[in-house]
């Protein structure tokens, strides 16, 4: 799994993350830590996480729970502002919504699961 990070302002987002390949919880969590520990990252940055090219067919419910629990802890201490999760397939969309329901209320309120980057950008614009 590859976790690409781009810190260019794109469509209102401060940093763009693209996950590709076959999902691995370990690599997913390591990728998120790379974003949050990058010296360019500041708490409150808006982030789309693009799963358009991520194969989530082998992701388990326990892995989604672990990712949600970890995200909730990190969000409370140094998390991003708003997160737009791009999940174009029914599997990715369903797992994204499951992740969202398992996080904290604050993180759930500041995230959205959508099918396209354009929808994520539109959601972010509606929040401003």
Domain membership of residue 17 as a residue range: 2-127
How many separate domains does the chain show? 1
d(CA 86, CA 96): 9
Share of residues in the chain with pLDDT > 90 (%): 73
Q: What is the per-residue pLDDT for 10?
A: 63
Across 45-49, average pLDDT: 90
CA distances from 89 to 6, 25, 26, 52 (A): 23, 19, 22, 8
Across 85-90, average pLDDT: 96
CATH number at residue 57: 3.30.750.24
């Amino acid at each position: 799994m590859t976790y690409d990070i781009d810190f260019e302002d794109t469509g209102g987002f401060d940093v763009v993350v693209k996950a590709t390949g076959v999902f691995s919880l370990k690599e997913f969590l390591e990728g998120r830590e790379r974003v949050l520990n990058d010296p360019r990252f500041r708490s409150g940055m808006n982030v789309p996480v693009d799963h358009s090219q991520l194969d989530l067919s082998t992701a388990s419910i326990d892995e989604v729970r672990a990712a949600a629990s970890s995200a909730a802890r990190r969000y409370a201490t140094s998390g991003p502002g708003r997160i737009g999760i791009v999940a174009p397939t029914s599997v990715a969309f369903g797992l994204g919504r499951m992740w969202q329901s398992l996080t904290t209320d604050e993180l759930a309120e500041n995230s959205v699961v959508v099918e396209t980057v354009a929808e994520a950008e539109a959601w972010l614009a509606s929040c401003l």
